[in-house]
Structure 1
């Protein structure tokens, strides 16, 4: 293990002997516009008490230029990750002068040049431990400090940090901006952004306070920034959270900045929340996209309390912020955000993510064992976020919503600006609800895996609910009958279950055509439909009025397909029949995406081409039949773009529409995002040329256009082109994070494994050196994105056997990819033989 990979034990030992008070940071970013300059001066002054003679300060950068301890210069003792400090007094002021490196990986201080106008933009991203790439710090969440930032930058730039700006001083070649001291926060949620960002201001009046609001993006995206909608959601959220948590928003201002080449959806830096530019919609956008953005805004806002005000002690308890924020994002979108179907989307998307993650061999409890930072980096997953949120939804039902929020209020009041672990939260909830949560916590937070629930039709006992891996559930079973051409809900059975088999009160199955366990999606479990219910759902799914019930059925059918229990051909037939009648665009988009995945991953080899061709026809016909300008029309257009990368059945027609030699469907917004998606698909089948891609880039010279252009060129179905892209991904370290992703996407486009199959041995030879030499984010993209989807497990099994001493985080990624391949092979083998 390198010294950069901090462990839980050593950081706990450090915080036991160091009491951090304050950190002052000075950054000089005046050279940022000169892309030949790779470093920037950075100085940190840390004030702390110590009960030990020595410690270390974390810094990963270009150089450490000077260290003073209590006013006395010291010899620099730095190994590239840790600065060793000795001779500490009871009270200490340590100043470190250094040079950091500008980042192009989205980790640390990321620098981006906009190809539209040549302007340079900077922003920071730290979680879990990358503030040490920008300034010397104690890089662990349980060492909070008051922070004061001073940033030198070019004139006329927006310069931001978590605190309010307090002053500007002119410099000979720029400006010095000072910021107010923050309240105590952990290093990973400090933040800086600088550049000629476009800004829209607003305010929120909370009682007798006025909170300044800001929404920012690159200047070239300003025309697309719907700031009014973003500010409206922000005001709604702040009002809701202050009342729900009975604790005033503590961070002064609330800036939200949409930044380029971002690795995440968003990050909860108090006072300066960062978001991916994907939430600035450059063209047509569906209601589901707006709901998703609102959910993310509210998720990050919940962190102002869960995570920022009260922070987990170490990454084992990452769920203390992420599970809660994921739950609160959906809850608040329904309660105050104006999106009443947010739980429908949650049932389909977030839970679907959790179910996939929880069936991997690397699954873990919500309260995880995280021994080091590499493990922490990979734990931002479907368990910590979506399963945790699902379990919290059940907890709210278990203790009652009022008691849950009173418990949260007690938790914030008791631990404001501190660090906590699981017992701290449970004790607050127990005190307000009067319920002992020990057994609940043990069953849901401290175990891994998921139950599979089903209902059997028993001639003697009536309906019997069964579950594998038994856990306590409070759930509702919906009973449906076919009436005319519709499935109508006839009643519900509410039940608390613990055992593997639970009779449903001798409810008769007579006249019940479909039994739907977890009809309201209140618990966390994989639903399995009985044979009769599956048949009825296949015929009548779209006739069910309740969107949550439809979401549960869509998920059950998809999970059955992933498990090899429902043939791919039948799943595709269900989607083809019912997706055109699905009014919820999030459910529609998920069904379309699942169909694409089913054909690519799970269809039998001898049936895949025919299925892919039929699916392109389905998408094409549905696109033309959809209501002009509707969300459904856009969803089908996007699905066609995905499907056309695998089958060229409509390539000529699509190319003609792009060339404007044939009309597009009425109302279809053929914006740059959709045009690029279609063009990349055509390139993957050899129906779009380099000249086509160049012409599209000329029409859309944006940053997004340059990324898409790179993918289109790499996607051409020529072995030399694909191999060149594959090698560039590994070897060209000048590629930014987004350009790397684009290169990988091109190399893998259209599932043309035959074009890169000879590189399997090279992949396994490269992954360990890449893990050692590249950042975790870049290495992760390489390991996952270029994993060989071969017809055998022999190569990956051989690598795992020969590399049992490889870093645990790397082995986890490879094991997960192996599991995905094993599922592909297993489900393909289970497909019925065509007559």
Structure 2
């Protein structure tokens, strides 16, 4: 395979030598509906200046048909599958590259999908970080911005879309040749094309400007035709309009990309992508069943995240991928902030506290953690860092920066940043400088403490050791992570003091704390100084730190957590208890007892969904044998009971929890079986396609749903989602044959016939814990095939295999890591493969750390 890596050093040199003038791309997709056609024609015409006589252009193609440079045929024999050398450059050049590029089934480049429901074909592109070169010849780096003009030839019946509006169309022989307006200056990785019989809903957003002018932005929402009945375009468009109004006012810079299309596409690799004028989203945001409020809120947050990128990332763009964190962290923060401040989805900070930040804490405790502002030497390293540090930790740290400098000053600095760097390429210092100017604070020390170091801070608050009851000592610790100690960071946050009254907790004081060393003292009010019942560090969630509850606060939380009035505060307490559990400081059985006792009256579907997911993880990973089965049965029966006694969102969350826990134990199959009976559905629960497949998969995992019935389930729902759900249910069966079939598909080094959606489904099904005895035999083969899979599959697919198929611990009793067979195998593999690609080694290191953590928690029970 061609070497697809690009280094920061060589790209920086190319940026000094080359300046792009214009770029025209013509894509001929006339044969896209023919599955026998594996390629499409791509023609790039690039005008650029050069100060050196040689460079290269990036192109990943099946074949370069021809190339000309300044009207002269270019020798393409030096093409290596990734780079086409460009010798003999003039001061001003015109390069034309005609290539045949491959359609993708893995979400990279030009993805092609055939809908099993109606046989229709759909195309869309995805290019981040460096896959535009899979579709056209391009200078593939973010700081070489250009004005791109796209021209697409395709079936005239199809919708043909790109980032800019259509300016001309010529139809002939059933084809349409569509040309789009040139883009403003932008990076190649955010260009986009979508083609197919997409369903389209249109609207318009407008704002009146000073001087009597009106700024209008045409809106479009698209999905597959077979999903049109499920498309909630009204809500999507409402959130879009609310977001455009919010960011227009907040950023003080008019939306710069003309139209605003949003398209929901099948088999997408990620959640969404911020292509200006044509934002792509994973199709799971189009709900075939009844969505919960958290799911609708999550979609709104992602819509607003991508919208924030229209300014931060697209208008002002990082120069290289070491700035990836800043664009993603900023957009992540803005997605939650805008949802709370501009839409009806006002529980965003609850989700942020208990969900998004938990991702960050988990990632930040791994041996592979890295500073937020990581040193990204090449594209392979960049691809590894689309992680919880880049997104969630960075967003949490920027939220802390808002508290540190003040919200108004932060917003003022952001507006200055856009005004100074519109359509340009920037470094971190370009962002910090206007913030420093707006706030009057030198942020270099802050940036060093927060952005150049790794590992989470830990904060705690408790009575002073001399037992003075009117003083709390607030402490921070920064444990050694990745072998390096971290100095105390500057924090601004609040400490909540809670007192029990009438069997409920009330917040009786909120202390604002500035902490820039190991500790600081905070004085309690006289009215609450007599032994507060619960002290919550980082109440209201301003900073990024793992909160440690003192023993008395833990005991109070076990009894009264559900009575805390604030949803965000309850989320923070649950997060603290979960981190105590993961860090082997709290017995998982005790955590699960708190779940059973405190969730019964919880009315927030946001908290229910997150805490029940934690509970499932605890049962799955930290309990074994009879303990696991018994606890899963108890929780499944609780879920069934609550499901029959509640309605709406809360009922649906409990119903899904029944499927989660039901997949861990065969003892509740009789409770689930009636829910999938076709002739007598329960009148008190809406069992839609999505929920029904959850129940079917749970039954399959415990052997209570045979293959013959699964085949009937597929015929009942012969759609893309139905097929992937069937694949997952089939792989879930506790049968040797089912595991062997799934393994063969997943471990096929070429990945032949394996789409990203099917891969995800098979991985989940294969790893069902009830089948652990059957999957144990695949531990050694897993380590045997790693390097082959990595060499022959795309990095995205191979990374998913490495992490998703990492073997579970095999020892049935509590053992030390040295005695666990999987640990021994993983350590041996790492020792023998010290020259393996860094991304592959990272996956194995993280899998090993997860197993070792599991063993620590089990041993601490």
Query: Which of 501, 516, 519 is the matching residue for 1:501?
Result: 519
Matched, 1:21 2:21: yes
- For residue 600 of structure 2, what is the aligned residue in structure 1? 580
1:441-480 to 2 correspondences below 5 Å: 441-458=447-464, 459-461=466-468, 462-469=471-478, 470-480=488-498
Task: Report the counterpart of residue 44 of structure 2 in structure 1.
Answer: 44
Q: Map 1:242-641 to 2 at 5 A.
A: 242-458=248-464, 459-461=466-468, 462-469=471-478, 470-505=488-523, 509-605=529-625, 607-626=627-646, 628=647, 630-641=648-659
Q: Distance in 1 between matches of 2:753 and 2:400?
A: 47
Find the aligned partners of 2:712 and 2:769 in 1 and give their Cα distance: 22
Q: CA deviation at 1:372?
A: 1.2
Match of 2:704 among 665, 674, 687: 687
Distance 1:819 1:26, change over 3 A: same
Does the CA-based 8 Å contact 1:617-1:649 persist in structure 2? no
TM-aligned CA deviation for residue 733 of structure 1? 1.2
What residue is the counterpart of 1:706 in the other structure?
Answer: 723
Q: Structure 1 residues 291, 456: CA separation in 2 closer, same or farther (over 3 Å shift)? A: same
1:760 equivalent in structure 2: 779
Aligned to 2:767: 748
Contact preservation (8 Å) 1:318, 1:384 = yes
Q: Which whole-Å CA distance do the structure 2 matches of 1:152 and 1:2 have between them?
A: 29
Helix, strand or coil at the partner of 1:475: strand
CA deviations 1:462-481 (Å, max 9, x no partner) are 32112111211111111111
Equivalent residues of 2:220, 2:262 under 8 A apart: yes
614-623 or 119-128, larger mean C-alpha shift: 614-623
In the TM superposition, residue 660 of structure 1 has moved relative to its aligned partner by: 4.1
1:779 is aligned to 2:798:
yes
Choose from 845, 849, 853 the match for 1:815: 845
User: How far apart, CA to CA, are the structure 2 residues paired with 1:58 and 1:828?
Assistant: 50
- The separation in 2 between residues aligned to 1:429 and 1:744, in whole angstroms, is 45
- Asked whether the 8 Å contact 1:30–1:173 carries over to 2, the reply is no
State the secondary structure of the residue aligned to 1:80. Answer: coil
Distance 2:551 2:627 in 1: 24
**Residue 795 of structure 1 pairs with residue 825 of structure 2:** yes
Aligned to 1:644: 662
User: Does the 8 Å CA contact 1:475/1:494 hold for their aligned counterparts?
Assistant: yes
The answer to whether 1:216 aligns with 2:222 is yes
What's the counterpart of residue 58 of structure 1? 58
8 Å contact 1:562–1:602 — kept in the other structure? Answer: no
User: Match of 1:96?
Assistant: 97
**CA drift at 1:607:** 2.2
Matched residues in 2 for 1:456 and 1:243: separation? 43
Per the TM alignment, residue 503 of structure 1 is displaced from its structure 2 partner at its CA by 2.0
- What secondary structure, in the 3-state scheme, does the structure 2 residue paired with 1:109 have? strand
| CA distance in 2: counterparts of 1:278 and 1:758, whole angstroms | 34
Query: Cα offset for 1:605?
Result: 4.8
Distance of 2:519 and 2:163 partners within structure 1: 53
Unaligned runs of 5+ in 1: none
**Structure 1 residue 244, shift from structure 2 partner:** 0.9
Aligned 1:62-141 pairs, distance under 5 A: 62-76=62-76, 77-141=78-142
Q: Secondary structure at the match of 1:424?
A: helix
- SS of the aligned residue for 1:426 comes to helix
Once the two structures are TM-superposed, the CA of residue 494 in structure 1 deviates from its matched residue by 1.3
Q: Give, in angstroms, the shift of residue 829 of structure 1.
A: 1.0
Q: Would you say the 8 A contact 1:771–1:810 is kept in 2? A: yes
Shift of residue 3 of structure 1?
Answer: 3.0
Q: CA deviation at 1:564?
A: 1.2
Cα deviation, residue 78, structure 1: 0.6
Q: Secondary structure at the match of 1:752?
A: helix
What does residue 829 of structure 1 align with? 859
CA distance in 2, matches of 1:294, 1:562: 30
Q: CA deviation at 1:233?
A: 0.8
Residues 582 and 857 in structure 2, CA contact (< 8 A), matched pair in contact too: yes
CA distance in 1, matches of 2:530, 2:786: 58
| Deviation of the 1:358 alpha carbon | 0.6
Cα deviation for residue 662 of structure 1 reads 5.6
Task: Provide the residue aligned with 1:730 in structure 2.
Answer: 747
Distance 1:588 1:464 in 2: 32
User: 1:797 and 1:27, CA in 2 relative to 1: closer, same or farther beyond 3 A?
Assistant: same
2:183 corresponds in structure 1 to: 182
Count of matched residue positions in the alignment of Structure 1 and Structure 2: 828
Aligned to 2:482: none
* 3-state SS of paired residue (1:738): helix
Q: Which residue of the partner structure matches residue 237 of structure 2? A: 231
Deviates more, 1:520-529 or 1:448-457: 448-457
Q: Deviations over 1:571-618 (max 9, x none)?
A: 111111111222221111000000000011112555222222222222
Secondary structure, in 3 states, of the residue corresponding to 1:42?
A: strand
Question: What is the alpha-carbon distance in structure 2 between the residues aligned to residue 108 and residue 580 of structure 1?
Answer: 47
Deviation per residue, 1:697-735 (Å, 9 max, x gap): 222111100111111112111112202211111215111
Confirm or deny: 8 A CA contact 1:55 1:86 kept in the other structure: yes
**Structure 1 stretch 220-229 or stretch 164-173: which is displaced more?**
164-173
CA apart distance, 1:753: 2.1
Q: Partner of 2:788 in structure 1? A: 769
Q: State the Cα deviation string for residues 241-287 of structure 1 (Å, max 9, x = none).
A: 11111111000000000000111111000000000111111111111
Q: Secondary structure at the match of 1:504?
A: strand
Q: Does the Cα contact within 8 Å between 1:623 and 1:665 map onto a contact in 2?
A: no
State the Cα distance separating 1:751 from its structure 2 match.
Answer: 4.6
Mark the runs of 5 or more structure 2 residues left unpaired by the alignment: 209-213, 479-487, 811-819
User: What is the distance in 2 between the residues matched to 1:691 and 1:603?
Assistant: 32
Quick one: distance in 2 between partners of 1:340 and 1:655?
A: 37
Could you tell me whether the CA contact under 8 Å between 1:600 and 1:751 is conserved in 2?
A: no
Q: From the superposition, tell whether residues 605 and 567 of structure 1 become closer, same or farther in structure 2 (CA, over 3 Å).
A: farther
SS of structure 2 residue aligned to 1:580: coil
Q: Contact conserved, 2:68 with 2:96, CA < 8 A, in 1?
A: yes
2:817 alignment counterpart: none
2:835 to 757, 780, 805: 805
Q: Does the 8 A contact of 1:723 with 1:755 survive in 2?
A: no
Identify which range, 417-426 or 203-212, moves more after superposition: 203-212
Q: Paired residue for 1:167? A: 168
C-alpha distance in 1 between matches for 2:770 and 2:38? 38
2:211 counterpart residue number = none
State the Cα distance separating 1:69 from its structure 2 match. 0.2
1:733 & 1:2 partners in 2: Cα distance? 18
Q: CA deviation at 1:298?
A: 0.5
**1:159-186 CA deviation, whole Å, 9 max, x = no partner?**
0001111111013241101000000110
Q: For the Cα contact (< 8 Å) 1:463–1:509, is it kept in 2?
A: no
CA RMSD, aligned part only? 1.4
In structure 2, distance between residues paired with 1:604 and 1:149: 57
